[in-house]
Amino acid sequence: MGDLLAEAEAELYADDPDGFTARRAELAERARDAGEPAVAKKITALRKPTRSAWVVNRLVRTDPGVRSRLDNLAADLREASGGGRLRELTAARAKLVDELTRTALEGLAAPPAALREEVTATFDAAIADPEVAASLGTLVRAARYAGFGAFGAAPAAAPPRKTKAPAEPAAEREARRQEKIREAERAVADADRDLESATAAERDLEDSVRDTEAQLADLRQRLAEARRRSYRAESRQQRAAGQLSRLKE
């Protein structure tokens, strides 16, 4: 049972999602033919991943080292103490996420900015959230981290003085700055996605206008030709009628 299900997951979540539904049905039928109706039901319940989730799944399944790199950095961040060490690990986190994103998108022709942003957000979330990390390889949709996580907490501050509030710890300031950067990146990605959609709509309408203009020009040409034929036919009719009248005189 486990082998058939694991094999189905490995294939479905590593292959292009365009063929997911048809192949899922084939694999479920194979499980039923093998006398495993329960496995067939589980395979049928597997959900089709979005393209960004598939990109991440594919990399994780083809490169076993990705999980360990993400897990090791997450562990280091959770254990970090002091602003200097956290800044160092934050830079390492950004570098690793960027590297994995570029590797995951290799081979895709001109991936849109929205796809790149979702892949980046998923790897970033996998470092911060153990649940996201555990789902790598069978992701259904892109993940997004919405908090500081266990490693984002600042070290305990000294008791506040009565005359002055304690300064925000450097580690927390850095975590907040990184979150603002991610929010700004998401805003840019959203704007890129809107621009791409608007541009595509503009191109479609321009194509429709050109098609309509071409059809109109063709119809005008056909109308002109019909008018010429009508004029010639009318002239022949008048000549024939005149000849007939003369013959009857």
What pLDDT is stored for residue 51 in this prediction? 94
Q: How large is the average pLDDT for residues 186-215? A: 69
Q: Which residues contact 137 (CB under 8 A, 6 or more apart)?
A: 9, 13, 57, 60, 61
Q: How large is the average pLDDT for residues 162-173? A: 61
Half-sphere exposure of 121 (CA within 13 A, CB side): 25
Q: What is the pLDDT of residues 82-126, one digit of tens each?
A: 778 888 999 999 999 999 999 999 988 888 999 999 999 999 999
Q: How large is the average pLDDT for residues 72-89? A: 87
Query: Where exactly are the structural domains of the chain?
Result: 2-44, 51-145, 193-249
Q: How large is the average pLDDT for residues 181-201? A: 69
Angle between helices 83-105 and 170-248 (to 10 degrees): 30
Which letter does DSSP use for residue 19 in this model?
G
pLDDT at 161 over 60: no
Confidence at 194, pLDDT banded by 50, 70, 90 = low
CA 1 to chain centre: 32
Q: Could you give the CA distance from residue 23 to residue 14 in angstroms, rounded to a whole number?
A: 12
Residue 116 contacts residue 105 (beta carbons within 8 Å): yes
Q: Which amino acid would we find at residue 76?
A: D
What tokens were used for 218? 């063709």
Q: What mean pLDDT value characterizes the chain?
A: 83
